[in-house]
Amino acid sequence: MTARKTAIVTGSTSGIGLASARRLGAAGYNLVLNSFTDASEDRALAESLAAEFGVEALYVAADMSKGEDARRLVRDAADAFGAVHVLVNNAGVQHVSPIESFPVNQWDRIIAINLTSAFHTTAVALPIMREAGFGRIVNIASAHGLRASVNKSAYVAAKHGIVGLSKTTALETAGQGITCNAVCPGFVLTPLVETQIEDLMAQKGLDRETVVAEHVLRKQPSKEFATVDQIAGTVAFLCSDDAAQITGTTVSVDGGWTAQ
């Protein structure tokens, strides 16, 4: 058992998840990193963050498409550190296709990883947080949790769902020292978005600059990507004492997208 608070970040070996883990490590949290890959690099990353920030860090392999894996992740974290104080549900995947041709296996995978995993982790974490008298749950949603786009039915449905789950969690924990909020990024230059850019370049025969300007950032009035560090800073703020009365809401980091 440790006197430090402990933070779990799902899908935390790259992108927003890794940036959030780094920011929480810098704030003094012990860290539980997660991915499904279970590679030596994953464990090395945990060791590296522990050394950099002077905290303890544990890597736990868990496939967020499987409910029992998601629940085990939280149990393993609590067993290792004695409690769980912060849960960042970040794991996410994407697939783009019209509804009538959307592959059923992709629909099931996206809903499971982007939405249902957060239900499972939250369900296990809440009693642990109540016992500790402190909890911060931050769900990484999306501007697509507030707006829709064509050909992204599963992603939009999942992200709208995560916003609703965040609100319900907040109501069920109000007054208990626990908060739950959803961060809604616009386009962030992550590996997932980079893949989308490359796919659009191939489909439309356009160069990268044109795809980014005309197809990716078209809805983002700032015409700039949000950065993983900006999202991580928002996550860290929502985990702080200054955010103790912020619960059940969404925080958009989207260059003005949802202001339209």
Question: What pLDDT is attached to residue 2?
Answer: 52
Task: Report yes or no: 220 and 257 within 8 Å, Cβ to Cβ.
Answer: yes
Q: What phi, psi does 250 have (nearest 5°)? A: -115, 145
**6-186+226-251 belongs to which homologous superfamily?**
NAD(P)-binding Rossmann-like Domain (3.40.50.720)
160 has a pLDDT exceeding 50: yes
- How large is the average pLDDT for residues 233-248? 98
Burial of 102 (0-12, 13-18, 19+ CB in 10 A): middle
Q: What is the pLDDT of residue 51?
A: 98
Would the pLDDT of 104 be above 80? yes
The residues assigned a catalytic role are: 155
What integer is the mean pLDDT of 107-124?
Answer: 98
Beta strands in the chain, from DSSP E residues, in sequence order? 6-9, 30-35, 57-61, 86-89, 135-140, 178-185, 250-253
Residue 153, both tokens? 């039915």
- Delimiting residues of CATH 3.40.50.720 domain(s) in the chain: 6-186+226-251
Tokens of 84: 């769980």
Please give the model's pTM, rounded to 2 decimal places: 0.95
Q: What pLDDT digit, counting tens, does each position of 179-207 carry?
A: 999 999 999 988 778 888 999 999 999 99
Pairing of strands 86-89, 6-9: parallel
